[in-house]
Amino acid sequence: METTIQIKPLVFRCFFFSLFLSMLFLLFLCRQATTKPPTYVDTNTNTDLRIRPGYTSYEAYIQRQLNKTLNDKLRRIWTTRDWERKIQIFSIFFTELKHKNLLSNSSKSLSIGARVGQEVEALKRIGVSDSIGIDLVPYPPLVIHGDFHHQPFHNETFDFEFSNVFDHALYPDKFVGEIERTLKPGGVCVLHVALSRRSDKYSANDLYSVEPLKKLFRGSELLYVRTVDGFGLDTEVVFRKRVTLRS
Ligand SMILES: C[S@@+](CC[C@H](N)C(=O)[O-])C[C@H]1O[C@@H](n2cnc3c(N)ncnc32)[C@H](O)[C@@H]1O
């Protein structure tokens, strides 16, 4: 009789505790279900490419990008402590592309979203002397002012374009459209993107697979996709602009 009296409160306690845990779990599920889903802007590229909500205007988007790029303290770090280290890593990537015959010393090359231009400097150091970068903030002589949604170049200007800032594009279709416009037929575009981890808080989109890129690069063929370790970006995607024969 005494044992039954002691066991009963224990059973009750266990019952209430599991009830409490179940309520917590239910609450968690409800919250998940009511969280606002990301905005899907470009329906042609399926849901593996999501534009981040919250940009009230194009000016607001540009201002957000500038907030980081113009930060004096960060610019000092990028041009001193980080300078040589990043050039070395970019040089390794570009040398590999040379070995694959996707880049040569005679390639006219563009780096998109090049900030202070380490990638441009790397290209020059490995012998690709006709190299320039564009960014919202110029860093002469390596980087000139230019918005990648409206590149300041004529059609069919470059043999090679590199970018590790696809995630900063508010209009991915324009970003890619401008690359295809300014590449020469047969020209090569190399993108470094993040697929398996989310990019930084200044990104304007999130990419979950290479499928949207394949759809966006309408006028190009996909050459290959490989895993890389490039400053937090994990995937190299390489396209070649098709040579269309005029009739
Ligand atoms: C993550 S940083 C990458 C910098 C550089 N590629 C590197 O690896 O050191 C992104 C850069 O994209 C630039 N950017 C963002 N939006 C841009 C736009 N619409 N047109 C041109 N550059 C842009 C930013 O100013 C910033 O310098």
How many structural domains are present in the chain?
2
Whether residues 106 and 14 share a domain: the answer is no
Which residue's C-alpha comes closest to atom 20 of ligand 1?
147
- Establish if 62 belongs to a structural domain: yes
pLDDT value at residue 149: 98
Out of 20-29, 31-40, 113-122, which region has the weakest mean confidence (pLDDT)?
31-40
Q: Are both 169 and 232 inside the same structural domain?
A: yes
Between CA 163 and CA 239 the distance in angstroms is: 12
Same domain (yes/no): 3, 88: no
From the CB of 118, is ligand 1 less than 6 Å away?
Answer: yes
Residue 119's CATH number: 3.40.50.150
**pLDDT digit string (tens) for 81-114?**
999 999 999 999 999 999 999 999 999 999 999 9
In this structure, the answer to whether residues 2 and 107 fall within a common structural domain is no
Same domain, 112 and 231: yes
Residues 6+ apart with CB under 8 A from 240: 186, 187, 188, 189, 220, 221, 223
- Give the pLDDT of residue 188: 98
29, 63: one domain: no
pLDDT value of residue 85: 97
| Residue 126 confidence (pLDDT) above 90 | yes
Residues 226 and 208 in one domain: yes
Using pLDDT thresholds of 50, 70 and 90, give the confidence band for residue 18. low
Give the pLDDT confidence of 41-52 residue by residue, as tens digits. 444 456 899 999
Instruction: Answer yes or no: do 28 and 149 share one domain.
Output: no
Better pLDDT: 103 or 22: 103
pLDDT of residue 103: 98
Distance 62 CA to ligand 1 centre (A): 11
Alpha helices (H) in the chain, listed in sequence order? 2-34, 58-69, 72-79, 83-99, 118-125, 172-182, 211-216
Q: What is the distance between the alpha carbons of residues 27 and 39, in angstroms, rounded to a whole number? A: 25
Which CA distances in Å does 1 have to 6, 8, 12?
9, 11, 17
CA–CA separation, 125 vs 203, rounded Å? 29
**Nearest Cα residue to 111 out of 88, 135, 78, 84:** 135
* Residues 85, 147 share a domain: yes
The residue whose CA is least distant from atom 5 of ligand 1 is: 114
* Domain interval for residue 18: 1-35
Q: Which range is least confidently modeled, 28-37, 83-92, 149-158, 219-228?
A: 28-37
Under 8 Å between Cβ of 190 and 162: yes
In a domain, 105, yes or no: yes
Distance CA(69)–CA(5), nearest Å, equals: 70
Q: Say whether pTM exceeds 0.85.
A: no
**Tokens for 79?**
């041009």
Q: How far is the CA of 100 from the centre of ligand 1 (A)?
A: 26
Span from the CA of 26 to the centroid of ligand 1 (angstroms) = 42
30 and 74 in a common domain: no
Asked whether residue 246 is domain-assigned, the answer is no
